[in-house]
Structure formats: C-alpha cells, structure tokens
Structure 1
Amino acid sequence: MGIDFSIKCPGVSVVNLNENKVLYCDKFNDGSYKSENYWKRLDIVIEYILDIFDTFKPELVMLENVFMAGKTAKSNMPLIMARGALISKLRERGAKGRGVMPSQARAFLKIKPNTKEDAFEWVKNNFPELFLGTFKEDNDKADAVILGLNAYNAKATEIF
C-alpha cells in the first residue's frame, strides 16, 4: 500500500508487486477541507485510509517521509503530528510500514529526470488503466503508486 499522506488530499494505492499491477488507486478530496475543523478532518482522512487498509490487508504500507529543513520545520509540524496519528492507527491493525523520501522513490524506479512531473507522466504511461488526468488533479494518486512500488527500495526505512 502506498500513501501520499496529507490532510487536504491524500493519495492511496494498493499494488501487487508480483504482477506489477495496481489493485486500487484513488485520492480523498471531498472539497470540505477548508470548512472543517482540522482534527475532524484528520479523523475523516484516517478512517478513509483505514477502510482501504481493512479491505485489502496489504503486507506493507509505504509512506512518504517528510522533508525537514529550517524553513519548513514549523509548517511541517501539523503534517508530522497527523502522520503520527495515522501510524498509530495502522500499528493497532498490525500493519508494517516503511518510509522513503520522494526523490529516493523516483530514483528507485529509475525515473529521469527525477521530478514530480516526470514521475506523474511515468505512472500515467506505465499504468494507463488508472486513467490519470492532469498533473494538478491526479499527482497525489501517481505519488501513491510510486510509493507502493517502492517496497523493495533499500533506501526505505522501517517506521512501524
């Protein structure tokens, strides 16, 4: 399972690596993000992800690691706390999880140049059955597929 985690619009995929097939790919964006309380929204997003986890029972969950730098530390704190809440709920269900930086995930799949836009096009070309639209509307879904395909990435680290 690959999760491009965010509170606004998380992308989620379930990939069968033995068959190189995407079993599930979607994003959660119901449009109510700005009108909802942050914590209520977090609960809704986590339930969405847990429903998919419970349906497919994946062997491994791959999450994107959060990039931290001096300028991004303060703005990343809500995402880091939300990610911790998700990890806690997944652990309760017995999930195993690993994390990888986005650039490492793209490099593992030999996507060149190593950009989000090129990665989107790579997923769109390699998995046409997903019917991805534009980068702006479906890049979270593509990122989730890339994460799901990184289960064997040696640079990924165990996080739960």
Structure 2
Amino acid sequence: MDSRRGFFASLASLATGKTDEREAFHPLLPGFIPQNSEHCLTCVTSACKNICEENIVVREGSAAPYLDFSRRGCTFCSECQRACENDCFVAEPVTVIKAEIEIGILTCLAWNKTICRSCADVCNDKAIQFTGLWNPEIDSSACTACGFCIGVCPAYSISVHPAKENG
C-alpha cells in the first residue's frame, strides 16, 4: 500500500510541482491551551502522547505536543486531556480541532476522474460529500478536522491548515 501511495504522490508532485506538504502545519491537540504551553517544559512523562489510542500525538523535546495525521486521526476520546498533569488543557471535552481540512483538486483522484472514495468512507461526521460521481467537497460546518481522511488518501491530496479567524 505504501508503494502505491508513493506512486500517486509522485504523480501528484509532477502535476503540481509540489511535494507532500502535510507536515507544514501541525495542529494542536483538542482542548490544548496554547498560552499554557510553557508548562510542557516541565513535563517529563509525555502522558498525553503515551495515552493516545491512535498514536498520533507527537512531542518533540519540551515543545507543545501536536497531532500527526499521516496514518490515523483523532477520535476525541479526551484521554490526552485527562492524562495531562500540567494544566495544559481545558477542563471540558472538545470535539473539534482548530484547523481546516482541504482537498487538493489538482491531485485528488476522484476530481481527476478516477473512482476513489477513501476520504468519504472514513469520515464519521459525513463532512465529505460528493457532487456527482467525481467531486468530493468538505462541508466545513460538519468537519471536526479529526484528520482521518488525510492518512487514507492514496494521492496525498488532503491537507490540514490553520483555521481561519472569524471576524
């Protein structure tokens, strides 16, 4: 499967001149309070990372933890929030990540007339709908930015970006 994904990624980079840019933006964990990220400096347990059932929490050194959607997504189980001993999260469960998901139509297999529904099939929120047979679109009002669609895309056509500020 990885060699097939690599093949499609190579085709995509030839078509657009871009390489895989999914690592350019790293969304923070749901409920993480950026203003409290200095508390991560004293964390020695990495409890938020170690408890993640999807194994998507990345913590490099003493930096704030972030999510890596390259293989899986966030289930919003809130275990990372409960595990943190340093008051880095809001108290109540959070069911949305402060990010936006985007489908790159130039490289998306479906947009380029190849049957593929990988992103829609994995979306529990039904936020990815097809217009006709070929055109997947993300309903931003339904999308929680969980990231499950990113790791399953065989052409690496789905990316995560910072959420646009309202107002």
* TM-score, scaled relative to structure 1: 0.27
Q: If each structure's helix is expressed as a fraction of its own residues, which one has the higher value?
A: 1
Work out which structure has the larger RCO, using CA pairs closer than 8 Å and 6 or more positions apart in sequence: 1
Q: Which of these two proteins has the greater Rg computed from alpha carbons?
A: 2
* TM-score, scaled relative to structure 2: 0.26
